[in-house]
Amino acid sequence: MNKFMDSIGEKIMPIADKLGKNRYLSVLRDAFMLSFPLTMFGSIVVVINNLPFFSDSTKEMLSSLFGNGQNATMSIMAVFVTFGIGYYLSKSYDVEAVFGGAVALSSFLILTPFVMQLTNGEELSGVLSLDRLGAKGMFIAMIAAFLSGEIYCRVTKKGWQIKMPSSVPPAVTKSFAALIPAIITLSVFLFINAIVTGVFSTNLHDVVYEIIQKPLVGLGSSLPATLLAIFLVQFLWFFGLHGQIIINSVMDPIWNTLMLDNLAAYQAGDKLPHIVTKPFMETFTVGLGGSGMTLAAVLIMAFLMKKKQYKDIGRLSLAPGLFNVNEPVIFGLPVVLNATIMIPWILAPLIVTTFNYLLMAAGIFPAPTGVSVPWTVPIFFSGMLATNSVLGGILQLIDLVIVGFIWYPFLRVLDRENI
């Protein structure tokens, strides 16, 4: 068995290592983290404005007073992601990062129609629709940011710059150095937009949304795709690789888009369109003790196992585990390359995620509203915040029991083997 695991590890680790170090996946991850504090603030505003014990009139009043807290953060998340991609991509090429972010954002806006469709069928020109800057515009934002970042960095690297004397202030020198690369990059996007709008009478937002974003979002919101992502996260962690960083770099754009869709529907009072979203993944997987939902395993080790080694690991891991930090368990039990633990480590998240999905699909428990909850919020409280219902917290506690039943026989085997 150990030889088999070693052979798998030898094959999978180089691939996972390359994915983890991939320039574009790293940039995408960092760009979403740039927007994290802002979306967190917007989520707090949404939670406060929609507390379940408030009346509809109170919610409406709070929304009118404090709604811009959400409009200026979560509703325009694509803006922050675009700037972040341009910034971090330029930084990875050792190019002045702030200008790269600004050029990426401007390129995205060039492709964005400054027209709003009114309910009566008329069009209002000269305005930006929030949905273009949020969920609906997320994929075109990422495409524009990566493409513009590459053009800007490559032109800069070729030395096509206006160089100023050393006596000129640094801020002015950097601005003139960015002038030609910025003009070339923005001109490319201006011509692309002119061709699409002039020849094909449409815009790239709608093209990308219909051809790329909708199919990918539909696939990413499905249970099979979700289970595959979770399996890969757990499988990579088993070999000591940070599965979430690797897999979430690919899936986060989809899950975040689904989150924004749910948030828009929740605020409009409509039925939530998706079950699987970023908050679903954070709250009902990571929110139960970290990757692998190990809080139940920590409790079993701390209070039910006989071997002092495991009792100590469980008790030391309890405080971090309550805040969903489980590296002490992963490397202390250990989970990594521990054949006895591999089955519950992979199986528990798959079973519980399927269980939660089916219950939410049946309407027995509420799906996450689209509010972003920090992954460090303890169990029960994170479930309540994510679903705006105490039922979300109760579901997490049920999940904890299920995970405990899955882990217990394997931990007992491990305990008996070492007594």
148-186 pLDDT per residue, tens: 999 999 999 998 888 888 777 888 888 888 999 999 999
- Is residue 58 in some structural domain? no
- On average, the pLDDT of the chain sits at 87
Is 373 within a domain? yes
**pLDDT at residue 206 is higher than 90:** no
pLDDT value at residue 38 = 87
Q: Residue 276 above 90 pLDDT?
A: yes
Choosing from 203, 221, 239, the residue where a domain stops is: 221
Q: Tell me if 64 is assigned to some domain.
A: no
Query: Average pLDDT for residues 99-116, to the nearest whole number?
Result: 93
**pLDDT tens per residue, range 285-342:** 888 888 889 999 999 999 988 888 888 888 988 888 888 888 788 878 888 778 888 8
Give residue-wise pLDDT tens across range 66-81.
889 888 988 899 999 9
Q: What percent of the chain has pLDDT above 90? A: 40
- Do 333 and 405 lie in one domain? The reply is yes
240 and 376, same domain (yes or no): yes
Same domain, 183 and 243: no
Cβ contact 335:321 at 8 Å: no
* 101 and 147 belong to one structural domain: yes
What are the Cα distances from residue 399, in Å, to 73, 217, 288, 291, 322?
A: 32, 26, 8, 14, 15
> Would you say residue 265 lies in a domain?
yes
Q: Note whether 145 and 273 are same-domain residues.
A: no
Helix ranges (DSSP H) in 50-178: 56-66, 68-71, 77-92, 97-110, 130-133, 138-157, 170-177
Task: Clarify whether residues 288 and 342 are in a common domain.
Answer: yes
Whether 124 and 232 share a structural domain: no
Q: Specify whether 183 is located in the same domain as 262.
A: no
Out of 198-212, 223-237, 367-381, least confident range = 198-212
Domain final residue, candidates 221, 245, 268: 221
More confidently predicted of 29 and 2:
29
pLDDT higher than threshold 70 for residue 13: no
Confidence of residue 223 (pLDDT cuts 50, 70, 90): very high
Question: Do residues 151 and 284 share a domain?
Answer: no
Determine phi and psi for 53, rounding to 5 degrees: -90, 0
Highest mean pLDDT pick, 42-46, 72-76, 83-87, 214-218: 83-87
Domain boundary (187, 221, 255) is at: 221
Does position 9 have pLDDT exceeding 70, yes or no? Answer: no
Query: 215 and 242, same structural domain?
Result: no
Which pLDDT value is given to residue 416? Answer: 82
Host domain of residue 311: 1-25+222-418
Buried b / exposed e along 161-172 (16+ C-beta atoms within 10 A) = beeeeeeeeeee
Mean local confidence (pLDDT), 120-148: 86
Identify whether 53 is part of a domain. Answer: no
Residue linked to tokens 């990308």? 208
Residue 15 has pLDDT above 80, yes or no: no
Q: Look at the chain and report how many structural domains it folds into.
A: 2
349 and 243, same structural domain?
yes
- Which pLDDT value is given to residue 111? 94
User: What does the pLDDT read at residue 1?
Assistant: 47
User: Does residue 33 lie in a domain region?
Assistant: no
Residue position matching structure tokens 């001109």: 187
- The whole-number average pLDDT for the span 243-256 is 83
Tell me, yes or no, whether 378 and 247 share the same domain. Answer: yes
36 within some domain: no
Q: Does the residue 107 lie in any domain? A: yes
